[in-house]
Structure 1
């Protein structure tokens, strides 16, 4: 989809876009950010994980951390938490390693599994980027949740790939126009670090007022 690296968007932003398009727009278009207890805890966990100097090797497995990846298809670029390489005769060759290896991403999350697919969407986008970077195909990867100490296997399906491609296209349309997505109010808004910047309740009321006035005028015209 994209060919100019300067036009690539942040890979991590696709999770924000899935969860709330306006939140993504405030961060990635308007360059606004506020910390709260959740973002600080998440940064602390990733600081420990995303250390490229931290090496780990087990029998027939080695782990690469803070790997830079990109996708021309999605127009996304970013850094992965951890990639596990498992020795496998059907895998790929890796510099300075004997044999062949299959890569699997392990994306670390602060909390517990979500009811929606926001974490899964981010993981699938990461897989697509890693596939392009390494020139391989990856059929599964993992989400690790810090609060539950649980590693969840995720199958990278065709439908999830198509969903990620659609979100990436939408992100580029919004970004190229510089237009901030409209606010919507959800139950989770109060836990968002940008709630005071977004003001979703006020935006929603303004929208409802505008619709009321518009309908009233149209009603007068009919009468």
Structure 2
């Protein structure tokens, strides 16, 4: 099974969201996801270009057979003088305190490293909301977090079971909130009630 790179970000954000999208094949669009889709359409449609000694390659397909992950990268910058590669991921929002986006980007680098037989030390995240580019160093800590998430996603998807919801403030921004119904399921006391009938 090849795990989509996007599943890693979904899992790091919320394991239930990952299962709803990648196991149950559910998707709902809201204002935020529509903005993100339009951003990626704009990025993906741009042509190959070379500026200031850097070649910009868009919609780059990657695969790691060793890790069983793959997908399409928004952008790979290649420094012509050295051959150094740098993956760049475009995001609709703004930088987050948790490393959801960094994990996805690091997985992209792991794919490129395997395919090209090279070491990639850093990449970048570009955020539309802040119109700001953030450099990401692929440290050993980030690499280990990424490998852990890959393992967890594989376990989730092969287990074929959607986790129960854990309602938090991030649920409000999730396009799947109406499908997921986290507050309703968290407050559901029916199982406890039924069990109490037989005590």
TM-score (norm 1): 0.83
- Find the structure with the greater CA-based Rg: 1
Decide which moves more: 110-119 or 32-41. Answer: 110-119
1-structure distance, mates of 2:142, 2:80: 27
Residue 213 of structure 1, CA deviation = 7.2
Q: Equivalences for 1:61-210 in 2 at 5 Å?
A: 61-89=54-82, 101-206=83-188, 210=191
Residue 56 of structure 1 pairs with residue 49 of structure 2: yes
1-structure distance, mates of 2:115, 2:139: 19
Residue 79 of structure 1, CA deviation = 0.2
**2, 5, 18: which one pairs with 1:24?**
18
Q: Which residue of 2 aligns with 1:40?
A: 34
Secondary structure (helix, strand or coil) at the match of 1:35 reads: coil
Superposed structure 1 runs of 4+ greater than 2 Å apart? 208-214
Tell me the C-alpha RMSD between the 2 structures: 1.9
Query: Would the alpha carbon gap of residues 159 and 73 (structure 1) be closer, same or farther in structure 2, given more than 3 Å must change?
Result: farther
Residue 50 of structure 1, CA deviation = 1.2
Residue 87 of structure 1, CA deviation = 2.7
* Structure 2 unmatched runs, 5+: none
2-structure distance, mates of 1:59, 1:190: 42
1-structure distance, mates of 2:163, 2:81: 45
Residue 10 of structure 1 pairs with residue 36 of structure 2: no
* Structure 1 unmatched runs, 5+: 1-6, 90-100
1-structure distance, mates of 2:21, 2:15: 10
Residue 23 of structure 1, CA deviation = 0.5
1-structure distance, mates of 2:10, 2:162: 14
